[in-house]
């Protein structure tokens, strides 16, 4: 966080203020280097002694007569104004009907006279550096805190950063709470952020780390807390504030093979999809997250449920948890049924292959993401450590299907009855 601006280290003592107000540029009195509200109050009650005869009596004219009284009816007032010490910034001259009310200091000194600037930090906000304090602050008072123009910090920012909200808006942004994330004068962090991007998001979203300790797989990009690589901080046309349509976002990295360890390579999902004629249901909707958690998971491969990682596995519903969140498990438990297309008459061929001690996992026959064949049936399947490709030679027929695989002799089934 940026250092607070100190009030008056630059020598804004009362006497000096008043003297300047009277147009005198005598050196400032030593040893009184803070603007104390009490001093200001005292000054405003007893202006006579130091007042030039041509100058108007602020405490009488400006407020008691009511002309500028409304100026101080807002809930938050700038201390010197609230105390009627108008002369610390203004000098009024001329007859009442025709008085001038000049500022006694130029833009550069107007505020810094009492508010000594904080030591400069690496990233500075342009209007702050230029001394355009009045682009954000009202010198007299405000309805919001910190003497900001408008009803909230967000309004003060809107004048220059007018962003049209898109479909989905981050609540702190929608609420105009720009300060929740940004410093407004200067910051050590890029984009004037209050803290590093990593700390910033987690400060409010600690809950998303709740189960991280139990995770079996963590997405590297999440672990590096590269949140804004996938999410926008402000507003988005895509659900969950994503920077792009989900599938495009994921494929911006998964459009190639990724070597995770020497010898272990993740397939290019883009290649799988672009060669496919049929996509798995959620992918037709442009989504990966129904099956993979984008942050981390208690299961391997960021999956949202168990899925066997070897070709042969003893059947249990729990082993296929991920598939059975969307597909009916009873179709793999009933030995005879007509509820699946993978049957010969009422003989359930899913049951036959899957539901046994050395059951075949789904991926022996099905692609996960997309396939050239109907029903996501594979062309071939990888086998053994060398990843030989064993052909399946599946053909969908009018009455069912047949396969001429490496597993067994040509077999066909009829499901048209």
Residue 5 and residue 118 in contact, taking contact as beta carbons nearer than 8 Å: yes
Tokens of 258: 């990724």
Identify the CA nearest to 139 among candidates 86, 179, 69, 176. 86
Least distance (Å) from ligand HEC to the CB of residue 22? 14
Residue 398 falls in which region: left (phi positive, over 0), alpha (psi -120 to 50) or beta: alpha
Q: Map residue 294 onto helix, strand or coil.
A: coil
Q: Which long-range contacts (CB under 8 A, 24 or more apart) does 341-348 make?
A: 341/375, 341/400, 341/415, 342/413, 342/415, 343/413, 343/415, 344/400, 344/413, 344/414, 344/415, 345/414, 345/415, 345/417
Nearer to ligand HEC, 52 or 309 (CB): 309
Residue from the set 7, 9, 22, 41 that interacts with ligand HEC by CB under 6 A: 7
Nearer to ligand HEC, 52 or 203 (CB): 203
Nearer to ligand HEC, 52 or 338 (CB): 338
Q: Estimate to the nearest angstrom the gap between the alpha carbon of 300 and the chain centroid.
A: 27
Q: Within 41-100, which residues bind ligand HEC (CB under 6 A)?
A: 62, 68, 71, 76, 78-81, 84-86, 88-90
Nearer to ligand HEC, 52 or 416 (CB): 416
Pairing of strands 380-383, 370-371: unpaired
What CA–CA distance (Å, rounded) separates 218 from 299? 10
Least distance (Å) from ligand HEC to the CB of residue 214? 15
Binding status of residue 246 toward ligand HEC by CB under 6 A? yes
Q: Estimate to the nearest angstrom the gap between the alpha carbon of 23 and the chain centroid.
A: 51
Residue from the set 132, 255, 271, 298 that interacts with ligand HEC by CB under 6 A: 132
CA dihedral 365, 367, 373, 379 (to 10 degrees): -60
Interface size with ligand HEC, residues (CB under 6 A)? 154
Least distance (Å) from ligand HEC to the CB of residue 358? 12
Q: Within 261-320, which residues bind ligand HEC (CB under 6 A)?
A: 266-267, 269, 280-283, 288-292, 294-295, 301-303, 307, 320
Least distance (Å) from ligand HEC to the CB of residue 68? 4
Least distance (Å) from ligand HEC to the CB of residue 52? 17
What CA–CA distance (Å, rounded) separates 140 from 147? 8
Binding status of residue 212 toward ligand HEC by CB under 6 A? no
Stretch that binds ligand HEC, among 18-26, 47-55, 216-224, 380-388 (CB under 6 A): 216-224
Q: Map residue 74 onto helix, strand or coil.
A: coil
Residue from the set 60, 166, 212, 252 that interacts with ligand HEC by CB under 6 A: 252
CA angle (372, 318, 258) in 5-degree steps: 45
Residue from the set 188, 219, 245, 347 that interacts with ligand HEC by CB under 6 A: 219
Residue from the set 215, 241, 313, 370 that interacts with ligand HEC by CB under 6 A: 241
379-417 burial, b at 16+ Cβ within 10 Å, e below that, comes to eebeeeeeeeeeebebeeeeebbbbebeeeeeeebebee
Binding status of residue 377 toward ligand HEC by CB under 6 A? yes
Residue from the set 226, 333, 390, 414 that interacts with ligand HEC by CB under 6 A: 226
Q: Within 336-355, which residues bind ligand HEC (CB under 6 A)?
A: 340-342, 350, 353-354
Helix H or strand E segment including 250: helix 246-251
Nearer to ligand HEC, 151 or 240 (CB): 240
Residue 113 and residue 105 in contact, taking contact as beta carbons nearer than 8 Å: yes
Interface map 179-208 toward ligand HEC (x if CB under 6 A):
xxxxxxx----xxxx---x--xx-xxx--x
Interface map 107-126 toward ligand HEC (x if CB under 6 A):
---xx-xxx-------x-xx
Residue from the set 41, 276, 333, 363 that interacts with ligand HEC by CB under 6 A: 363
Least distance (Å) from ligand HEC to the CB of residue 42? 13
């Amino acid at each position: 966080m940026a250092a607070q601006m100190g009030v008056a280290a630059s020598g804004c003592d009362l006497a000096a203020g008043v003297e300047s107000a009277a147009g005198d540029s005598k050196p400032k009195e030593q040893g009184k280097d803070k603007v104390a509200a009490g001093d200001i109050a005292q000054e405003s009650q007893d202006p006579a002694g130091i007042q030039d005869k041509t100058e108007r009596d602020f405490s009488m004219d400006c407020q008691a007569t009511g002309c500028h009284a409304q100026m101080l009816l807002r809930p938050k007032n700038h201390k010197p104004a609230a105390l009627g010490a108008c002369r610390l910034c203004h000098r009024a001259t001329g007859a009442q009907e025709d008085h001038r009310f000049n500022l006694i200091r130029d833009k550069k000194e107007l505020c810094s006279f009492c508010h000594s600037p904080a030591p400069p930090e690496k990233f500075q906000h342009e209007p702050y550096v230029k001394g355009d304090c009045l682009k954000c602050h009202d010198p007299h008072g405000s309805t919001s805190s910190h003497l900001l123009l408008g009803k909230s910090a967000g309004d003060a920012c809107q004048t220059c950063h007018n962003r049209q909200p898109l479909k989905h808006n981050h609540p702190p942004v929608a609420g105009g709470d720009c300060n929740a994330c940004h410093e407004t004068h200067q910051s050590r962090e890029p984009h004037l952020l209050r803290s590093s991007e990593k700390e910033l998001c987690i400060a409010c979203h600690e809950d998303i780390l709740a189960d991280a300790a139990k995770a079996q797989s963590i997405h590297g990009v999440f672990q590096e807390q590269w949140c804004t690589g996938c999410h926008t901080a402000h507003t988005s046309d895509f659900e969950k504030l994503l920077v792009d349509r989900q599938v495009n976002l994921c494929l911006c990295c998964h459009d190639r093979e990724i070597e995770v360890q020497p010898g272990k390579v993740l397939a290019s999902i883009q290649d799988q999809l672009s060669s496919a004629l049929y996509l798995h249901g959620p992918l037709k909707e442009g989504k990966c997250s129904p099956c993979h958690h984008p942050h981390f998971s208690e299961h391997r491969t960021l999956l949202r449920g168990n899925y066997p990682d070897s070709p042969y596995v003893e059947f249990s519903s729990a082993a296929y948890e991920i598939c059975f969140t969307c597909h009916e498990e009873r179709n793999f438990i009933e030995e005879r049924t007509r509820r699946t297309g993978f049957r010969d008459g009422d003989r359930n061929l899913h049951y036959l292959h899957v539901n046994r001690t050395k059951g075949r996992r789904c991926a022996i026959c099905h692609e996960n993401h997309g396939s050239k064949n109907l029903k996501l049936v594979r062309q071939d399947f990888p086998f053994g450590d060398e990843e030989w490709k064993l052909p399946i030679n599946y053909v969908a027929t009018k009455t069912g299907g047949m396969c001429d695989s490496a597993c067994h002799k040509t077999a066909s089934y009829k499901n048209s009855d």
